Structure 1
Amino acid sequence: MRTRGVETIRFYERRGLMPEPPRAPSGYRRYPRDAADRLRFIRRAKHLG
């Protein structure tokens, strides 16, 4: 994933648009499958204004 994309997702988490996902024992975020759908919805809503 691009750095810019990671920063965008973290921003959405801070703003409450994306729930913070659980973490693996290694500390990596483990996003559920529906997270991609939610990101697409946010991007589309942003595009529509």
Structure 2
Amino acid sequence: MPNFFNEYECPRCDTTWEQEADSMCDDKCPNCNLAVQAHASEEIEEVEDEQA
């Protein structure tokens, strides 16, 4: 299942943060609680453990 590495920047207080999630989703600013859209997202693939 693909995951996304999302980057956020709050327009209200300029706080920046990153989040790995299973979608390109909105998040709440950890500083002021404003709902913020990701300004950048990158799809990443999980590496599955190979068992011998």
TM-score using structure 2 length:
0.26
**Higher RCO structure, 1 or 2 (CA under 8 Å, sep 6+):** 2
TM-score using structure 1 length:
0.27
Larger radius of gyration: 2
More strand by share: 2
More helix by share: 1
